[in-house]
Amino acid sequence: MKPTDPCVTWLEETPLGLAERLYLPLFIQGLTTTARHLISPKVTVSYPETRPTVGNPLIYRGVHRLNRDDQGRVKCVACFLCATACPAHCIDIVATESPWQDREKYPESFSIDELRCIFCGMCEEACPVDAIELTSLLDLTGKSREEMIFDKEKLLSVYDITKDAEPMKSTGMDTGHTSPADLGGRP
């Protein structure tokens, strides 16, 4: 962009009036602003005595959970879409043949390295059966790195803790609705 570009507006510094040259209005302005902030309510949250408020728990990207279906089984079908979508490569799935009739595979083990995770939520978006979801739990702590690798049981237990406060976004186990025909695509 050239300096002569018509989109550029050049401004001259406004000359100081007598009031500004006397420094008094600026003095009062500065001091009143300081005094106002001195007594205004504080924004710091005294964690852990008070918990920070989560704006909308349904879209907050906190600790993961693995959802259960209505029979209490893990909802995951071990399709690896989340592991593929994950930019941090923190999801590790071992798939095996499902003992149940309604799906071919299920995860024998499903672990997420919470230390590697960047909480982008792409696993949740990739999941075709809404099995993996991010909850609004935000204080994720542990005493060792090993402890921070959440396995299937732990992820399911996160679901058990949070299912009442944050209901599953879709309850059905029906995989049919993800077929291209249902979505209006070509068969």
Residues contributing to the site for other proteins (CB under 8 A): 3-4, 10, 13, 15-16, 18, 21-23, 26-27, 30-31, 33-35, 37-44, 46
Q: Enter the DSSP assignment of 159.
A: H
b/e map 106-123, b = 16+ CB within 10 Å? bbeebbbebeebebebbb
Nearest residue (CB) to other proteins, 44 versus 144: 44
Contact 117, 60 (CB under 8 A): no
In whole angstroms, the minimum distance from the beta carbon of 48 to other proteins comes to 12
Which two tokens mark 10? 């050049």
- The residue (of 44 and 101) whose beta carbon lies closer to other proteins is 44
- Asked if residue 125 lies in contact with residue 171, where contact means CB atoms within 8 angstroms, the answer is no
CB of 56 to other proteins, least distance (A): 24
DSSP for 167-179, written as a single string: --S------GGGS
Our CB check for other proteins shows the closer of 22 and 165 to be: 22
Tell me whether residue 48 or residue 99 sits nearer to other proteins (CB atom). 48
CB of 60 vs other proteins, minimal distance in Å: 24
